[in-house]
Structure 1
Amino acid sequence: MRTRKGIVTIRDDHALARDLAAEAGERLLALRSRDGHDDPAALRHAGDNESHAFLIESLSRLRPDDVILSEEGTREERLDPRRQVAERVWIIDPLDGTREFGEQGRADWAVHVALWHRTPVQPADGPAAVGPSAEATGAASAGSGSVISPPRGSGTLIAGAVALPAQGITLSTAAPPALPARREGPIRIAVSRTRPPEFVQKLAGLVGAELVPMGSAGAKIAAVVTGEVEAYVHGGGQYEWDSAAPVAVALAAGAFASRIDGSPLTYNQENPSLPDILVSLPDLAPTLLAGIRDVHR
């Protein structure tokens, strides 16, 4: 998709998610460069608002029949009753890692764009849809050609993209990356740099892991996909927009993702709270889930 000076061209929902996330990221980089870091609070506020406005306008114009759930939406918009009956819902975080965006030199912030569909579908081209069952098992992978049926009354993530603008990276279901082979040495677990859960510190001691503090959830899940870490574990509070897009990408790449008790991650719920998450290389999931159970006993 070319914007601003060009004609908007859309292949499919995968490409749209990728291109909108990347464009929003470019705009955030331009804002950061223009305004500087003299007033971090103002920069963060402007970043949230401008990225939200761009994504809402673009999706409303290019996918007018779809509903949007955004972190920066009003309470009334988040409670929009159409979301509970809509076939297609875009779940977006216009600026994930707002704190890091306002700190000079930090690159661990992201833009998230994901598409949820009420019923499982096989896209005309691109990777298979990813359903909640796959989110619990990591069973869906790029090019598998399979469709995971969600539980009755649920739905599935069918496209997603995570732009890491300051790192020059956009990961998406349009062309999912292959998970790198696990390196030798201790498991590296990405954790919040500002509020790492106490149980994750206990988990690290139990399984001999190394904790790697990072900013946004998108950056942490992307780190699993790119091989910077082997897992991301979080508990203590998040929302659907924090993980929908990066989870879609991680699953398309062949990673494992679930709640920390092993239950499925489900999206477009009436209450968008999704307080905990595990994303990891598939072969590490049993060890990490068992360790989490042990530290919670």
Structure 2
Amino acid sequence: MAQSADHTLAASVATETGTLLVEIRERLFSSGAGTWEVRDTGDNEAHRLIVNRLSQARPGDAILSEEGHDDLARLTADRVWIVDPLDGTREFSEPGRTDWAVHIALVENGVPTAAAVALPAVGQTLCTEPEPQLPEPHNGRPRMVVSRSRPPAAAIIVAQALDAELMTLGSAGAKAMAVVLGMADIYAHSGGQFEWDNCAPVGVARAAGLHASRCDGSELAYNFADPWLPDLLICRPEYATDALEALRKVIEGEA
């Protein structure tokens, strides 16, 4: 299992990468760089920093990064770091937006055991040690965080069943951390993500005491040859039963 130093490493690498991305963003915006230059530079520089730091600190561990070559030797590794150097490149390339993130997670036996999600534009990193403290429930309708464009089917199903209020955010990490921070109560996604999109957020969410599973209630597992994950549900525990029941009815064709 992860050691205390692994939690510290995840948080420090996420924070350092976030600091680099803020600097890159400010520099390129001030120079008049185009959208694609901002996105590509952020992705590439963040990836290089993360791989260098993790390789130096844990030379025997495997790494799966959105921006790197996928070495399938990771499938037989005991410890695999699954990372998204820049989650939310679209938001990163839009001046003033803060809903983008950096994901760092250590996976052992398919489970994230140490994780950190940095929200660089607001100067915050949430991690598995010390674990986040989940705020008290708010009064009123549950708040569901969804994508800025078209909400996925899972979100619509749960929102209708629980009479949830919809609020929009950009990256997957920003959405999940909104639930951890008490800004939202539910994050449901269908239509697919990759392992690096939600591995670290799931690790941090679980450390905070949130429910995290597939939309059918089954476990989220990581480090497969195909890193595609069809769906997920992250929510406050008091909403898990009702949300899963609503999704189950649709999955089984009862609604």
TM range (shorter): over 0.9
Counterparts of 2:150 and 2:8, CA distance in 1: 34
* Residue equivalent to 1:201: 156
Residue 62 of structure 1 pairs with residue 53 of structure 2: no
Residue 44 of structure 1 pairs with residue 13 of structure 2: no
Aligned length: 248
Partner-residue secondary structure (3-state), 1:266: coil
Counterparts of 2:122 and 2:190, CA distance in 1: 26
Counterparts of 1:24 and 1:208, CA distance in 2: 38
* Residue equivalent to 2:229: 274
Structure-2-length-normalised TM-score: 0.94
Residue 26 of structure 1 pairs with residue 19 of structure 2: yes
Q: Which blocks of at least 5 consecutive residues in structure 1 are unaligned?
A: 1-9, 119-154
* Residue equivalent to 2:115: 160
Identify the match of residue 85 of structure 2 among 87, 94, 97.
Answer: 94
* Residue equivalent to 1:4: none
Contact 1:187-1:208 at 8 Å conserved across structures: yes
Give 1 or 2: higher helix fraction: 2
Give 1 or 2: higher strand fraction: 2
Identify the match of residue 142 of structure 2 among 187, 194, 215.
Answer: 187
Q: Which blocks of at least 5 consecutive residues in structure 2 are unaligned?
A: none
Q: CA deviation at 1:295?
A: 4.0
Identify the match of residue 82 of structure 1 among 51, 73, 83.
Answer: 73
Q: Which amino acid aligns with 2:94?
A: E
CA deviations 1:233-289 (Å, max 9, x no partner) are 000010110011111111011110000111100011111101211000111100111
Q: CA deviation at 1:199?
A: 4.2
Counterparts of 2:168 and 2:72, CA distance in 1: 38
CA deviations 1:107-138 (Å, max 9, x no partner) are 000000000113xxxxxxxxxxxxxxxxxxxx
Identity of aligned residues (%): 50
Counterparts of 2:80 and 2:198, CA distance in 1: 15
Identify the match of residue 94 of structure 2 among 91, 103, 106.
Answer: 103
Q: CA deviation at 1:198?
A: 3.4
* Residue equivalent to 2:130: 175
Q: CA deviation at 1:206?
A: 2.4
Q: Which amino acid aligns with 1:71?
A: E
* Residue equivalent to 1:283: 238
Identify the match of residue 252 of structure 1 among 204, 207, 211.
Answer: 207
Q: CA deviation at 1:179?
A: 0.9
Q: CA deviation at 1:27?
A: 0.2
* Residue equivalent to 1:217: 172
CA deviations 1:31-76 (Å, max 9, x no partner) are 01111064111100100000000001111111110000001113xx
Identify the match of residue 15 of structure 1 among 8, 20, 25.
Answer: 8
Counterparts of 1:61 and 1:188, CA distance in 2: 41
Residue 226 of structure 1 pairs with residue 181 of structure 2: yes
Contact 1:203-1:295 at 8 Å conserved across structures: no
Counterparts of 2:75 and 2:249, CA distance in 1: 36
Q: CA deviation at 1:182?
A: 1.1
Counterparts of 2:135 and 2:165, CA distance in 1: 18
Residue 73 of structure 1 pairs with residue 96 of structure 2: no
Q: CA deviation at 1:195?
A: 3.3
Residues 101 and 28 of structure 1: is their aligned pair in 2 closer, same or farther, counting only changes over 3 Å? same
Partner-residue secondary structure (3-state), 1:274: strand
* Residue equivalent to 1:5: none
Partner-residue secondary structure (3-state), 1:215: coil
Structure-1-length-normalised TM-score: 0.81
Contact 2:154-2:188 at 8 Å conserved across structures: no
Q: Which amino acid aligns with 2:13?
A: L
